[in-house]
Amino acid sequence: MTTINTPAIDTTAIDTLRFATAGSVDDGKSTLVGRLLHDSKSVLADQLEAVEHASRNRGQDAPDLALLTDGLRAEREQGITIDVAYRYFATPRRRFILADTPGHVQYTRNMVTGASTAELAIVLVDARNGVVEQTRRHAAVAALLRVPHVVLAVNKMDLVGYEEQRFDRIVQDFAGHAEELGLPGFTPIPVSALVGDNVVERSAHMDWYAGPALLEFLETVPVGAENVDAPARFPVQYVIRHDEVRYYAGQLVSGALRVGDRVTVQPSGETSEITGIDALGTPVEVAYAPQSITVRLADQRDVSRGDMITAGASADAPTLTRDVRAAACHLAERPLRVGDRVLVRHTTRTAKAIVRDLGGATELCANDLGRITLRTAEPLALDDYADVRRTGAFILVDPADGATLTAGMADLS
Amino acid sequence: MTAELTERTYALSHLDALESEAVHIFREVAGEFERPVILFSGGKDSIVMLHLALKAFAPAAIPFSLLHVDTGHNFPEVIDYRDRTVDKHGLRLHVASVQDYIDRGVLRERPDGTRNPLQTVPLTEKIQDEKFDAVFGGGRRDEEKARAKERVFSLRDEFSQWDPRRQRPELWQLYNGRHAPGEHVRVFPLSNWTELDVWQYIAREDIELPQIYFAHQREVFRRAGMWLTAGDWGGPKDGENVEKRLIRYRTVGDMSCTGAVDSDATTLDAVIAEIAASRLTERGATRADDKLSEAAMEDRKREGYF
């Protein structure tokens, strides 16, 4: 649970930042997360007591903050993080949902998972080692998943004498890779997670750094990326029938819908008009992403789960296609091969598909980033992932055992 | 170097965003599964789940039934609440009874009298018998370290077992509910809620709760650092003194292992103020079963516990 000094019953003013962390094995990521939780007073007495107890059992004098985030027995025993862990904390200014992802190369899929819903990613580097192969990989994942903000946290500054030139060199180096990867920008912050420099409090050891401490930046970075001007996208999840009226239930994943809007049902292309919108019990004139709503249409159309209601100019319409080109990250242990028959899960629709091409490769192995072309059994209403994350994203599923195989990000250009 | 956001943005309030996410999860399950069921204990998390489900399918009825795993050590106020709720909304209630398993000799009472670990078998067999394919639980990731690694859709085998190493990656809001016959999926719509969120939502939506969540006089005794209610379940033992105290419950579970906290919070606002100022997690303050070991929850989850 979270700790807030003044209880805020009216939470309307408080928003949420979802962010993800990534770092190599020894970059001190768990320590950074532990420090963030500890110094923001989000760690409660019994949790700290458990960590102190476990640290003593391991023969350590000071509480090992990394133990706060290692949830599974194997993780504690091996001193590594295996799986994405979600953490919750709050300050008076904002709520935070942190996807804490392990950084080993074989767990790239975990960072992809954490980054898929994140609005900010913290890429951690060790100031002694600078940008390494895994740093580039983490930057590549953040760029691929279109995470809107990236923080480069240069950690262990205490071990390099808080040296400004060292920090600058790492930032320069990372900037080169960022540009190459198409990362729109990043915010570098010099920190020491172990000592606490620039994590919650600004450091007294680096007067050459004028920027915010990490938490300060997390509290002030703009959020709410589902923007109102984006085209309206409303995948139908479920049809509620009541007193001969059909209510199309779903979550508005992009843009806004208004009563009176002319809308198109994808993929049939039929058009209609919105006659009513309910926002969980309240009739409204307009709804915005990411609200869950029900929508009523003027005519009795054959609309069902898997269809998508869209509005706006025809230039804004999604692309209806059975030939899907996308960037991909392979997640499963078994490789994906050209010719494989899979299921595509896109918004609320599931369709059969064949893997036509893998960017020239014959297979994609676990944690590979690559390109994919699919031929689907029915048309999908796709947006470029760069334009609308929720309608550009899909997963591939093994029809035999239901395993999640691959993450795809449509690239229609 | 930071990219400028030029678009106009619209941010839902924190509670609205959590509510929308949970409703989306309920509707996904309604669209993808044949026989979903909501685990309903009469505790605050399951009450919030039911409230969200009612909103998700209004004005129609919810397309799910309820399942209560009855340890036999229930607070009477909670059973009363359960039955009134079922009547009020015209729901169907299934009960998996631990007492029944003990009476039939299938399960044996533990020496400490705690029945929480005994819930797994009745729950699993009820899921198998009724062929439930999706089982909603009120578990939250903020509760405990093993739960922090749980997916929203959590695949279980025919023994209900959870294997943390074989969890499916869960990306965007694309929940993968495919499962083989005999398997089922545990679904956690409150994954991203904290204890404080649950209380603030209860206050905002004016949701009725069983009275034991609010401060009241009760006969209790001290065991393992917790205040337990005296009752037929096996407390107090010799040397444990019963006294009358002003207490309330932060969680509701089996009477034998759910502790009360000293509190004078008689209203929702007072409860919220108390939680916001608390220096203990709700499980740390009130659950004896989680104090068994560093990995107590992980072990119970693996065995098929919620």
Q: Contact A357/A324 with Cβ under 8 angstroms?
A: no
Report the pLDDT value the prediction gives residue A375, as an integer from 0 to 100: 98
Q: Is the pLDDT of residue A119 over 70?
A: yes
Report the pLDDT value the prediction gives residue A2, as an integer from 0 to 100: 27
pLDDT tens profile B18-47: 999 999 999 999 999 999 999 999 999 999
Distances (CA, A) of A32 to A76, A153, A233: 17, 10, 38
**Which one of B171, B226, B272, B287 makes the best mutation probe of the A interface by having the most chain A beta carbons within 10 Å?**
B171
3-state secondary structure at position B155: strand
Q: Among candidates A118, A305, A354, A364, which has minimal Cα distance to B171?
A: A118
Phi, psi of B9 (to 5 degrees): -120, 155
Strand partners, A321: A380
Report the pLDDT value the prediction gives residue B231, as an integer from 0 to 100: 73
Distances (CA, A) of A188 to A145, A152, A174: 20, 4, 9
Report the pLDDT value the prediction gives residue A381, as an integer from 0 to 100: 96
Report the pLDDT value the prediction gives residue A278, as an integer from 0 to 100: 96
Q: Verify whether the Cβ–Cβ distance B272 to A7 is below 8 Å.
A: yes
Report the pLDDT value the prediction gives residue A29, as an integer from 0 to 100: 78
ipTM rounded to 2 decimals:
0.89
- Mean pLDDT in residue range A285-311: 93
- Chain centroid to CA B147: 12
Phi, psi of B74 (to 5 degrees): -95, 155
How far is Cα B79 from Cα B96, in angstroms, rounded to an integer? 14
Q: Which two tokens stand for residue A43?
A: 């760690």
Burial B44-75 (b: 16+ CB within 10 A, else e): bbbbbbbbbbbbbbbeeebbbbbbbbbbbbbb
> Which residues in A lie closer than 8 A to residue B173 (C-beta atoms)?
117, 251, 390
How far is Cα A99 from Cα A16, in angstroms, rounded to an integer? 13
Burial A248-277 (b: 16+ CB within 10 A, else e): bbbbbbbbbbebebebbbbbeeeebebeeb
How far is Cα B49 from Cα B92, in angstroms, rounded to an integer? 16
* Touching B: A residues 359-388, CB under 8 Å: none
Q: Which helix (H) or strand (E) holds A152?
A: strand A149-155
Q: Verify whether the Cβ–Cβ distance A83 to B31 is below 8 Å.
A: no
Q: Is the pLDDT of residue A85 over 60?
A: yes
- Chain centroid to CA A146: 9
User: Could you tell me which residue, A383 or B222, shows the higher pLDDT?
Assistant: A383
How far is Cα A189 from Cα A200, in angstroms, rounded to an integer? 12
Residues above pLDDT 70, as percent of chain A: 86
Pairing relationship of beta strands A349-357 and A369-382 according to DSSP bridges? antiparallel
Structure confidence at residue B282 as a pLDDT band (50, 70, 90): low
pTM, entire model = 0.89
Q: Verify whether the Cβ–Cβ distance A1 to B172 is below 8 Å.
A: no
Report the pLDDT value the prediction gives residue A104, as an integer from 0 to 100: 65
Q: Verify whether the Cβ–Cβ distance B31 to A238 is below 8 Å.
A: yes
- CA–CA min distance A292, chain B (Å): 5
Pairing relationship of beta strands B216-223 and B184-187 according to DSSP bridges? unpaired
Lowest mean pLDDT among A48-52, B133-137, B269-273: A48-52
Structure confidence at residue A7 as a pLDDT band (50, 70, 90): very low
Query: Strand A187-190's sheet: what is its strand order?
Result: A85-91, A94-100, A16-23, A120-126, A149-155, A187-190
Report the pLDDT value the prediction gives residue A257, as an integer from 0 to 100: 95
Find the CB nearest A16 among B1, B14, B277. B14
Mean pLDDT computed over every residue of chain A: 87
pLDDT tens profile B72-122: 888 888 999 999 999 999 999 999 988 888 889 888 888 777 787 788 889
Q: Verify whether the Cβ–Cβ distance A407 to B19 is below 8 Å.
A: no
Q: Is the pLDDT of residue A161 over 60?
A: yes
How far is Cα A389 from Cα A384, in angstroms, rounded to an integer? 8
Kindly report the length of chain A: 413
Q: How many C-beta atoms lie closer than 10 Å to residue A65's C-beta?
A: 24
Pairing relationship of beta strands B184-187 and B226-229 according to DSSP bridges? unpaired
> Which residues in B lie closer than 8 A to residue A4 (C-beta atoms)?
196, 276
- CA–CA min distance A57, chain B (Å): 12
Name the DSSP letter for residue A318.
P
Q: CB-based burial of residue A96 (10 Å sphere; 0-12 exposed, 13-18 middle, 19+ buried)?
A: buried
Report the pLDDT value the prediction gives residue B3, as an integer from 0 to 100: 33
Task: Cite the residue boundaries of each domain of chain B with CATH code 3.40.50.620.
Answer: 14-196+297-302
Report the pLDDT value the prediction gives residue B296, as an integer from 0 to 100: 62
> Which residues in B lie closer than 8 A to residue A222 (C-beta atoms)?
5, 9
Q: Contact B151/B177 with Cβ under 8 angstroms?
A: no
Pairing relationship of beta strands A393-397 and A341-346 according to DSSP bridges? antiparallel
The DSSP string of A182-228 is: T----EEEE-BTTTTBTTTBPPSS-TT--S--HHHHHHHS----SBT
Q: Is the pLDDT of residue A8 over 70?
A: no
- Mean pLDDT in residue range A276-300: 93
Q: Verify whether the Cβ–Cβ distance B10 to A224 is below 8 Å.
A: yes
* Touching B: A residues 287-316, CB under 8 Å: 288-292, 305
Report the pLDDT value the prediction gives residue A224, as an integer from 0 to 100: 67
- CA–CA min distance A404, chain B (Å): 6
How far is Cα A350 from Cα A83, in angstroms, rounded to an integer? 27
- CA–CA min distance B159, chain A (Å): 17
Q: Among candidates A162, A170, A178, A80, which has minimal Cα distance to A129?
A: A170
Task: For each of the domains in chain A, give its residue range(s) and CATH number, in order of start.
Answer: 16-220 (3.40.50.300), 233-316 (2.40.30.10), 319-410 (2.40.30.10)
How far is Cα A379 from Cα A306, in angstroms, rounded to an integer? 11
* Amino acid symbol at A25: V
3-state secondary structure at position B176: coil
Distances (CA, A) of B252 to A305, B40, B46: 37, 11, 10
- Chain centroid to CA A71: 21
Name the DSSP letter for residue B9.
B
Name the DSSP letter for residue B59.
T
E runs forming strands in B150-286: 153-156, 184-187, 216-223, 226-229, 243-249, 260-262
Report the pLDDT value the prediction gives residue B1, as an integer from 0 to 100: 35
How far is Cα A179 from Cα A157, in angstroms, rounded to an integer? 25
pLDDT tens profile A36-73: 887 777 766 666 677 777 777 777 766 666 666 665 66
Place of tokens 């106009």: B8
Give the nearest chain B residue to A42 (CA atoms).
Answer: B279
CATH class for the domain made up of B14-196+297-302? alpha beta
E runs forming strands in A285-338: 286-288, 292-297, 308-311, 319-330, 336-337
Distances (CA, A) of A115 to A118, A150, A344, B12: 5, 11, 20, 20
- Mean pLDDT in residue range A200-214: 93
Q: Verify whether the Cβ–Cβ distance A397 to B176 is below 8 Å.
A: yes
